[in-house]
A and B are shown apart, each in its own frame.
Chain A
Amino acid sequence: EPEVTQTPSHQVTQMGQEVILHCVPISNHLYFYWYRQILGQKVEFLVSFYNNEISEKSEIFDDQFSVERPDGSNFTLKIRSTKLEDSAMYFCASSENVPSSYNEQFFGPGTRLTVL
């Protein structure tokens, strides 16, 4: 069964460093998403991406964040200068189409980012 994959599973970085989180969405999917979940808190939407551009983004997704689809398979989230509060689990998701009534988002296993 096709699945969303994410690498690395755990990333440790120093405050101020840049990190890039990698995702490979399901191959025939067209919409891609990044979410984050701070330990013990709700899942939070960061950004959605379609047709090589951002469709929606939340207030969390400020200038420190960027997304890219550098080739036909990878979808990346870059954090330019990490802060302690960026420590969280980051989930990538993909859907075949816009998340309408029955269009499901499939989530990857997540990357745990720890900023020291």
Chain B
Amino acid sequence: KNQVEQSPQSLIILEGKNCTLQCNYTVSPFSNLRWYKQDTGRGPVSLTIMTFSENTKSNGRYTATLDADTKQSSLHITASQLSDSASYICVVTTDSNYQLIWGAGTKLIIKP
């Protein structure tokens, strides 16, 4: 069964600190992996998209990694800001019908 699991479920860090969020997936056939940021009560916004051949991609202070062999991805946030407080969702697209398989998200809280 196609699944995306994320950890931790929630995370609290101090402003300015770094953090890493994890994503494991069992999706086949694999097309791409996306990280979304979802502010409370808002729609998801794409941060990065990676295909099978890409193992790292950055978007400002966000860096995503992908290990297609172990089917793991991480999202590293550098020098966190209060505005980084949000849910971060890992989403994997299947290569068969291009449907998005959603993780449950990691709720990140940045404290001043």
Contact = CB atoms under 8 A, between A and B. Distances in A.
Given A99-B100, A101-B49, A102-B49, A107 B105 contact: no
A104 to B, nearest CB: 5
Interface residues of A, number: 23
A91 B44 CA distance: 9
Nearest to B52: A101
Interface of B: 31-32, 41-46, 49, 51, 89, 93, 97-100, 102-105
Contacts, number: 49
A99 B51 CA distance: 12
B98 A99 contact: yes
Given A4-B43, A41-B104, A100-B31, 15 more contacts: A45-B99, A45-B102, A56-B97, A89-B41, A91-B44, A99-B93, A99-B98, A99-B100, A100-B98, A101-B31, A101-B32, A101-B49, A102-B49, A102-B51, A104-B49
A108 B41 CA distance: 11
Q: A-side binding surface: helix, strand, loop or mixed?
A: loop
A89 B93 CA distance: 22
Contacts of B93: 99, 101
A108 B99 CA distance: 18
8 contacts: A45-B99, A56-B99, A98-B98, A99-B98, A99-B100, A101-B31, A101-B51, A107-B43
B37 to A, nearest CB: 11
Contacts of A18: none
Contact of B43 (A100, A102, A110): A110
Nearest to A40: B104
Contacts of A45: 99-100, 102
Contact of B41 (A102, A107, A112): A112
A44 interface: yes
A38 to B, nearest CB: 12
Contacts of A44: 102
A111 B1 CA distance: 30
